[in-house]
Chains A and B, each alone.
Chain A
Amino acid sequence: MTTDLATPRTKATDQDRLRRQLQDYGVYYGVAVLLLVNILFTPHFLSTENFRTQAVQVAPVLIVALGMALAIGSEGVDLSVGSVMALSTSLISLYLGYGIWIALAAAVLGGAAVGVANGALVAFIGVQPIVATLALMVAGRGIALVLLPQLKDVHDPSMASLGSGDLLGIPYLVLIAAALTLLVAFVVRRTTFGRQLLAIGDSRPAARLAGLPVRRVLILVYVASGTLAAVAGVLATARLTASDPTSLGTLMELSAITAVVVGGTPLSGGRVRIGGTVAGAVLIQLLTATLIKHDLPPSWTQIAQAVVIVLAVYAARERGKR
C-alpha cells in the first residue's frame, strides 16, 4: 500500500518477514492458541452452550469495536462509547412506555447525537479526538444518570426476545453483530466514504489538499461510532433485561480500543482491519473466559489484558507512519 518506489527493493530478512507475519496474523495465532489450550485443558469447553455464551458475550464489545475501528482509522479515537451505552440504556427505559420502536429510535438517536457533538468538536473546532471524546465521556454518563438515576428492570417481551431469542439456533445478538461487521467491512472497503476515511487517517492535510470533504467524513465517523455504541447498549440492555446507567459500558472504551489495536489496526490511522478487530474482540473474550474458568482472580485478567495490549502495539510499532 505504501510501497516506496524510490528506494530499491532489498531482500526482506527473515526477521522482518517474521515480524510482518506477527503483525498481520498474530491475533489469529493468538485466538488459535487460546482455543487449543481451552480445548485441551478446560472441561466442558467444547459444547454448543459454551460457544453460544461466549459469542453472546462478545457481541456488544465487537459492535462497539467496529465503531472504534472507524475512529482509529481516521487517526482519532472515541472515548465516549461506554457513556453512550449508558445513555442508550437510560433512553430505552425512559421511552419504553411509548412502544419498543420509539424506545429503540430514541436510544440510537441519542448515540448519534453524541457522535455529532464529538464530530463537530473534532472536525470544526479542531479539538484533539482524545479530549473531545473525553468531555463527552464525562458529560455523557452524567446525562445518562440524570435521565435514569438508578438501575431499572426492563419488562418488555420484545426486548426480552431480542436479548435471548435466536434464529436457527444462532442468537439474535450474534446475528446482529455479524450483520454489522459485514456492513462496516463493506463500507470501509467498497465505498467512497471508506476510502475518504482512510485517506484522512493517512494524512489529514493531504486529504484536505486533495479536496476531500474532511469535515463531513469526520463527523460521519463519530456519528457511526456513537450509533454503533448505542446499538451495543440496546443489545446489552436486552440481554440483561435491565437498564443500569451506573455501570453499563464502564471500561468499554478500553476493551474496544484493545480489540481494534490487538487486531492490527494502527493507532496512527490510515488503515482499518475489520477481520482483525473481530479476532481481537474474540481474543479478549477468550482470554478472560480462560482465566476465569481456571479460577484465576479478576486481577490476573486485567494484568493479562494490559500485557496483551503492550505486546500487540509493540509488535506493530514499525508499521505505519512515523
Chain B
Amino acid sequence: MTTHPTPTDPVPPPSTPPIPSAPAPSWQDEATGPTRSERLSALAQQHGALVTLVVAVFAAWLSFDTFLTTDNLSNMAVSSAFLAVVALGMTFVIVTGGIDLSVGSLFALGGVLAAWGSRYGTAVALLLPLAACALIGLVNGLLIARSRLAPFIVTLAAMLGARGILLAVTDEGSRTYLVDKDSFFAKLGQGEALGVGVPVWITLALFVAGAVTLRRSRFGQYVYAVGGNEDAAALMGAPVARTKIAVYTLSGLCAGLAGALNAAWLVSGVTILGSGMELEAISAVVIGGTLLTGGFGFISGSLVGVLLLKVIQNVINQIGSLDSAYQQVVSGGFLAVVVMAQTWLGRRRRVL
C-alpha cells in the first residue's frame, strides 16, 4: 500500500468535483443478476394475490357449507365478470403510470345507453355505449397526453361529467330503461354456455386478449415503456402520447362494455350503479401486483384481485350479521395492507 496517503501528504485533488451520490441505477444490479431476496420478493409480488385467494377460498369452504355450491360460485363468477372487465382496462392505464377515476360513471352510463338502445336491436345496444364511453375515454386521453394535464384530475372531471350526462339522459335519474327479456341482447347477459354464464366467457376471452396484447404486442411494449420512464420511452421512439390516448380510450371502452353486459344481465339500465367502482377496480389491480407507479404489472393479477375482492365480500355476506359497513372496513383495511406490502416488496426489488 505504497500509494496510500499518509496524514501529512497533501490529498490529491479529485479530478472531478464529488457528485452527491444518487441511488445506483437498477441496471448495475442486474449485471450480476437479481439476488435471492429480490427474486423472492418478485415472486411474492407476482403470486401473493393468488396464494391469498387460494387460502381465502379454502377458509371459506371450511367455514361455510354454502360457499362451494354451484349457485354461489356461478353468481360470484358473473358478478365478478363486470368488475373484471373494468379492471382489465384499468390495468393498462395503471401500467402507463396513470389512473382512471371515471370508470364507475362510464359503467353506469354504458348500462343505461345499452338498455335504451336495446329497443333498436343488439347492434345498437352494444355499439352505442361502446362508442359513447370510448369517446369520453378518448377525450380523457387527449387532455392527459396532448395537454399534459394530471390524469387524476381529468378523469375526476370525466367522472362528474359522465354522471351528469347520465342524469340528463334519464330525466334526472327518474327513468329506467328496460331490456326485452327475450332479445338476443338479454341472452348476452343472462345466457349460459356449458353451465357458465355468457358474461364470464366474454370476460375470460377479453382477459386472454388483454394479456396477449400487454405481453406480446408492440403496443404492450409501449405501455410498459411509457410507465417505466416516459422520457426514456420518448427517446427510444415510442409514441408516448398515442399510447396514453389509446389506454384511456381502452379503459373507457372496457367500462362501457362492462356496463352494457351488466344491463343485459339485469335486463335494465340502472342509473345509480357504479359509484365506488373505480375504487374497487383500482384495488383489484393493485392487489393483483401491478405497481401504481407504472411500468410493472400483470393482466392475470387483476383477475385474481377481482376474485379475491369478491370472495371477501361473499364471505362477509355469508356471515350475515355483518353488513356492508364491515365490508367497507375490511376492503379498505385489506387495500391498505396490500399496498403497504407491495411498497415494501417493491422497495427491495428496485429503486422506485
Contacts and interface: CB of A to CB of B under 8 A. Distances in A.
A299 B172 contact: yes
B335 A309 contact: no
B172 A298 contact: yes
Interface in A288-322: 297-303, 305-307, 309-310, 313-314, 317, 322
Interface in A113-169: 121, 125-128, 130-132, 134-143, 145-146, 149
B167 to A, nearest CB: 3
Contacts of A200: none
B240 to A, nearest CB: 14
B156 A309 contact: yes
A77 interface: yes
A127 B340 contact: yes
B329 A317 contact: no
Main secondary structure of the interface of B (DSSP, over half): helix
A322 B172 CA distance: 40
Contacts, number: 138
A102 interface: no
Interface in B329-352: 329-333, 335-336, 339-340, 343-344, 347, 352
Given A131-B339, A314-B149, A303 B332 contact: no
B152 A299 contact: no
Question: Could you say which of B161, B283, B326, B347 has the most chain A C-beta atoms within 10 Å of its C-beta?
Answer: B161
A209 interface: yes
B328 A300 contact: no
Main secondary structure of the interface of A (DSSP, over half): helix
B160 interface: yes
6 contacts: A138-B335, A142-B327, A142-B332, A143-B329, A145-B328, A302-B167
A267 interface: yes
A139 B328 contact: yes
Chain B, interface size category, equals: 35 or more
Nearest to A305: B160
A137 B172 contact: no
A128 B335 CA distance: 13
Interface of B: 20, 99, 143, 147-150, 152-154, 156-161, 163-168, 172, 276, 279, 282-283, 286, 292-293, 323-333, 335-336, 339-340, 343-344, 347, 352
Question: Could you say which of B328, B335, B352 has the most chain A C-beta atoms within 10 Å of its C-beta?
Answer: B328
Contact of A302 (B154, B163, B327): B163
Nearest to B167: A299
Given A138-B276, A141-B328, A309-B153, 13 more contacts: A134-B282, A134-B283, A138-B279, A138-B332, A142-B326, A254-B159, A254-B160, A297-B168, A298-B167, A301-B164, A303-B160, A310-B143, A317-B148
Contacts of A145: 323-325, 328
Contacts of A301: 164
A135 B164 contact: no
A313 B149 contact: yes
